[in-house]
Amino acid sequence: MPLNPAGPDDQALSRTEALEESERQFRSLADNMSQLAWIADPAGRIHWYNERWYSYTGTSYEAMMALGWRSLHHPDHGQRVESRLQRCFATGSLWEDTFPLRGKDGQYRWFLSRALPIRDERGSIIHWLSTSTDITAQVSAEDALRELNESLEQRVAARTRELAESNERLQVEINERAQAEEALRHAQKMDAIGQLTGGIAHDFNNMLTGVLGALDLIQRRVAAGRVSEIDRYIEAAMGSANRAASLTHRLLAFARRQSLNQRPVDVNHMVTSMEELLRRTIGESIELEVDLHTISCLTNTDEHQLENALLNLVINARDAMPDGGRLLIQTELTHIALLQDALAPGDYVRLRVQDTGQGMSSEVIARAFDPFFTTKPIGQGTGLGLSMVYGFINQTGGRVSIASEEGRGTRIDLLLPCHHDDAERPPSVERSIEPPRASLGERVLVVEDEPDVRMLVVDVLKDLGYRVSVACDSHEALIVLQGAEPIDLLVTDVGLPGLNGRQLAEVARQHRAGLKVLFITGYAREAEVRGDFLDDGMDLLTKPFSIDELAVRMRSLIESSPDRL
């Protein structure tokens, strides 16, 4: 055993010294921490504050013992803080609260305070330890944000009417932008037509002069008994009228609004049909060369959209040559053996538009297909033309490429997949010398509200051997259709008063199932998409039409069903 064993008093002294050392270390740490701190007995009576507390409050130990820390509370918060703190002391639960404390300068700063119960090994609370962290900056920021929000709400309330009007204008702009792609196809066509208005008016006046002058001379020669001289006047009138009809058909085609309607399209034929319109678009100062591949090739696309794309490119080329130049439109067959830029291998038809204009820099080429990008002056371009061409060609499985050099011109190629099914080529109609006539005296019901047109159609049908019933509107037509008289074919204008021609056909087929119907129309918005407008046993003939065209369409419909209705 040890020579000098420690007695109980020595052990107690050692523990006391250790406890005192531990307390010195804690207080040294607490006095140097950035937070305010205090210690309370189990009942919640505070008996120690750290040096940071005295430094902030400007008080002393004696003052705090006499007045208590509650003397530093803001009067608006003291009762709330005291109530919650006493409840935690009573339940032994963690206390946390935010409130302002007065400093030695008399100003209040916000603190986040927490008090934690310290327990012994038996779980009994031996004292409470609290820290308070200065959060004035955070509270000030929150107050500023709250004031800003309140101020914003007041400004919004004061300007409600103005903002409502702005929102309405914004909604209109959003709707217009959402419809931009669809509307632009129509707008681009109408813009092109607007640029041609002067030339079209000039041409129409010339054509009308030819028609009216020839008819006037025919009337004079007949009155004078000189009928042998009228043939050349008839030919002149027919030629002028046919040129006018061709021009109106072309204008309607470019003014039409329709969704993508893919079908086999002969690109060579399309370019040829547009050539006259393109020449008028570019003007006399630009030389137009059309170089078509010797072998025609079909592509499966929307012909009207492809026409619009070509017209866009031609207008851009024209604008790039303000002082004149040369414009080449070329078609060519090409084969792609390997996958190129997501373009599948296969046969393609290349539609090329090449000009000798100003050209484009590499920076402009890089953005040429970006929506709303344009190099034209304000008011002269939307910046959507090329982006819509790009989107349309890609939608049909093709590709658009640009090659350009400043001062040397621009070449744009549209690559479109070939369509090899010859069976789906647009059929060529062989015309007989004489129009086909009625074979069995078939009866035709003619419904036309325009008296002159109605008279001509009826006279033509009678000359062809048909028996004819006549109605000037859908009401009269229904009376005939509901009767017992057999009707082999209904020939009706689309734009009728009351029920239109399409509605009349629907009602007619309720009384006479399978009745064949030939619609005639100068222009019908509803008939723009033929596949949606026509059912089986129906056809559409656009005014003006020739006797041969009318006779062929009628015989085709009648002979498709040998049974009379």
pLDDT interval class at 326 (50, 70, 90) = very high
More confident residue, 461 or 177: 461
Residue 491 confidence (pLDDT): 94
Mean pLDDT of 167-172: 84
Q: Which residues contact residue 451 at a Cβ distance below 8 angstroms, ignoring those fewer than 6 apart?
A: 472
CATH (domain of 451): 3.40.50.2300
Q: Helices (DSSP H) in 92-230: which residue ranges?
A: 136-158, 160-178, 180-195, 197-223
CA pair distance 171, 132, nearest whole angstrom = 52
Q: Is residue 521 part of a domain?
A: yes
Choosing from 94, 112, 139, the residue where a domain stops is 139
Q: Helices (DSSP H) in 39-77: which residue ranges?
A: 51-57, 61-67
Burial degree of 460 (CB within 10 A; 0-12, 13-18, 19+):
middle
Whether the pLDDT of residue 441 is over 80: the answer is no
Residue 526 confidence (pLDDT): 53
Whether the pLDDT of residue 446 is over 90: the answer is yes
Whether the pLDDT of residue 382 is over 50: the answer is no
Q: Is residue 94 part of a domain?
A: yes
Residue 353 confidence (pLDDT): 92
- Give Rg (Cα) of the chain: 46
Mean pLDDT of 6-20: 61
CA pair distance 413, 129, nearest whole angstrom = 82
φ, ψ of residue 122 in degrees (nearest 5)? -90, 0
CA pair distance 42, 240, nearest whole angstrom = 114
Choosing from 124, 139, 154, the residue where a domain stops is 139
User: Do 419 and 435 form a contact (C-beta atoms < 8 A)?
Assistant: no
Look up residue 305 and give its two tokens: 């959209």
Total number of domains constituting the chain: 2
Q: What element of type H or E holds 251?
A: helix 231-255
- The residues facing 541 across adjacent strands are 520
User: Do 335 and 296 form a contact (C-beta atoms < 8 A)?
Assistant: no
Whose tokens are 């305070």? That residue is 113
CATH (domain of 95): 3.30.450.20
Whether the pLDDT of residue 87 is over 80: the answer is yes
Q: Quick one: which of 88, 49, 44, 41 has its CA closest to 65?
A: 49
Q: Is residue 471 part of a domain?
A: yes
Per residue in 517-531, pLDDT (tens digit) is 999 887 655 544 455
pLDDT interval class at 384 (50, 70, 90) = very low
Q: Is residue 468 part of a domain?
A: yes
**Amino acid identity at 212:** L
φ, ψ of residue 285 in degrees (nearest 5)? -80, -10
Q: Which domain holds residue 483?
A: 443-559
Which of 2-6, 76-80, 265-269, 351-355 is predicted least confidently?
A: 2-6
pLDDT interval class at 236 (50, 70, 90) = confident
Look up residue 303 and give its two tokens: 């012909």
Look up residue 431 and give its two tokens: 């015309």
Per residue in 400-433, pLDDT (tens digit) is 888 888 888 999 899 888 887 654 444 444 444 5
Choosing from 86, 111, 139, the residue where a domain stops is 139
**Amino acid identity at 281:** T
Task: Report how far Cα 467 is from the mean position of its chain's Cα atoms.
Answer: 53
More confident residue, 370 or 513: 513
More confident residue, 525 or 341: 341
Per residue in 14-73, pLDDT (tens digit) is 666 665 666 677 777 777 788 899 999 998 899 889 989 999 999 998 988 888 888 898
Q: Quick one: which of 302, 320, 207, 312 has its CA closest to 264?
A: 302
User: Do 245 and 194 form a contact (C-beta atoms < 8 A)?
Assistant: no
Q: Reduce the DSSP state of residue 312 to 3 states and report it.
A: helix
Q: What is the pTM of this model?
A: 0.42
CA pair distance 380, 51, nearest whole angstrom = 78
More confident residue, 476 or 164: 476
Q: Which residues contact residue 480 at a Cβ distance below 8 angstroms, ignoring those fewer than 6 apart?
A: 445, 469, 471, 487
Q: Is residue 245 part of a domain?
A: no
Residue 7 confidence (pLDDT): 54
pLDDT interval class at 109 (50, 70, 90) = very high
Residue 216 confidence (pLDDT): 83
CA pair distance 59, 72, nearest whole angstrom = 10
Q: Is residue 222 part of a domain?
A: no
CB burial string 209-229: b at 16+ within 10 A, e below: ebbeebeebbeeeeeeeeeee
Q: Helices (DSSP H) in 224-341: which residue ranges?
A: 231-255, 267-282, 303-319
C-alpha separations of 55 from 51, 60, 148, 217, 510 in Å: 6, 9, 34, 119, 101
Q: Quick one: which of 253, 251, 252, 241 has its CA closest to 544?
A: 241
Q: Is residue 430 part of a domain?
A: no
More confident residue, 205 or 47: 47
Q: Is residue 332 part of a domain?
A: no
Mean pLDDT of 151-177: 80
Mean pLDDT of 305-332: 88
Q: Reduce the DSSP state of residue 19 to 3 states and report it.
A: helix
CA pair distance 103, 54, nearest whole angstrom = 9
